[in-house]
Amino acid sequence: MTAIPAKGRPSRTRYRVLAMVVLLSAITYLDRVCISVTAPSIMQDLGLSKVQMSFVFSAFTTAYAIFEIPTGWWGDRAGTRIVLTRIVAWWSTFTMLTGAAFNYVSMLSVRFLFGSGEAGAWPMAARTFSRWFPVRERGTAQGIFFMGAHLAGGLTPLLVTALLTRFQWRVLFLMFGSIGFVWAIAWQRWFRNSPREHPAVNAAELAYIEEGVAAAGKAEGRTHWGRLLRNGTVAALCAMYFTQSYGFNFYVTWMPTYLKSARGFSSLTLGILAGLPLTLSVIADLLGGLTTDRLSRRFGLRIGRAAVGGASLGAAGLCMISGTLVGNPVLAAVLIALAAASSNFLLSAAWGTCVDIGGTHAGVVSAAMNTSGQIGGIICPILVGYVVQHFSNWSAPLLLTGCLYLAGALCWLRIDAGRGRILD
What is the rounded CA–CA span in Å between residue 414 and residue 44?
A: 46
Domain enclosing residue 349, as ranges: 13-212+225-419
pLDDT of amino acid 19: 95
Which segments within 74-134 are labelled E, that is strand? none
pLDDT of amino acid 272: 84
What is the rounded CA–CA span in Å between residue 378 and residue 253?
A: 11
Instruction: Tell me the Ramachandran region of residue 120: left when phi exceeds 0, alpha when psi lies from -120 to 50, beta otherwise.
Output: left
Q: Cβ(252)–Cβ(153) under 8 Å?
A: yes
* Angle ∠(306,312,314) on CA atoms, nearest 5: 100
What is the rounded CA–CA span in Å between residue 260 and residue 157?
A: 13
Tell me the residue length of the chain.
424
* Angle ∠(162,150,71) on CA atoms, nearest 5: 115
pTM above 0.85, yes or no: no
What is the rounded CA–CA span in Å between residue 191 and residue 227?
A: 32
Q: Which residues of 268-295 are buried (b: 16+ CB within 10 A; e: fewer)?
A: eebbbbbbbbbbbbbebbbbbbbbbbeb
Query: What secondary structure does DSSP assign to 13-81, as a single string?
Result: HHHHHHHHHHHHHHHHHHHHHHHHHHHHHHHHHHT--HHHHHHHHHHHHHHHHHHHHHHHHHHHHH-HH
Residue 197: other Cβ atoms inside 10 A: 12
Q: Cβ(288)–Cβ(312) under 8 Å?
A: yes
What is the rounded CA–CA span in Å between residue 379 and residue 384?
A: 9
Which regions of the chain are under pLDDT 70? 1-7, 212-226, 420-424
What is the rounded CA–CA span in Å between residue 394 and residue 397?
A: 6
What is the rounded CA–CA span in Å between residue 424 and residue 227?
A: 11
* 156 in any annotated domain: yes
5 burial level (CB within 10 Å; 0-12, 13-18, 19+): exposed
pLDDT of amino acid 423: 57
pLDDT of amino acid 212: 61
In angstroms, what CA-CA distances link 361 with 81, 127, 416? 16, 8, 17
CATH at residue 355: 1.20.1250.20
* 219 in any annotated domain: no
Amino acid present at 415: I
Query: What secondary structure does DSSP assign to 109-121, as a single string?
Result: HHHHHHHHHHTTH
* 7 in any annotated domain: no
Q: Cβ(33)–Cβ(276) under 8 Å?
A: no
What is the rounded CA–CA span in Å between residue 385 and residue 35?
A: 15
Q: Which contiguous run of DSSP H or E holds residue 423? A: none
* 5 in any annotated domain: no
188 burial level (CB within 10 Å; 0-12, 13-18, 19+): middle
* 381 in any annotated domain: yes
Instruction: Tell me the Ramachandran region of residue 75: left when phi exceeds 0, alpha when psi lies from -120 to 50, beta otherwise.
Output: alpha
In angstroms, what CA-CA distances link 274 with 155, 161, 180, 259, 336? 9, 11, 24, 7, 10
What is the rounded CA–CA span in Å between residue 420 and residue 227?
A: 14
pLDDT of amino acid 89: 94
Q: Which sign, positive or negative, has the C-alpha torsion 79, 346, 148, 135? A: negative
Angle of helix 347-358 relative to helix 121-132, nearest 10 degrees, comes to 70
* 130 in any annotated domain: yes
What is the rounded CA–CA span in Å between residue 91 and residue 89?
A: 6
- Total number of domains in the chain: 1
* 163 in any annotated domain: yes
Q: Among residues 235, 257, 240, which one has the least CA distance to residue 398?
A: 257
Amino acid present at 335: L
Residue 200: phi, psi to the nearest 5?
-85, -10
* 353 in any annotated domain: yes
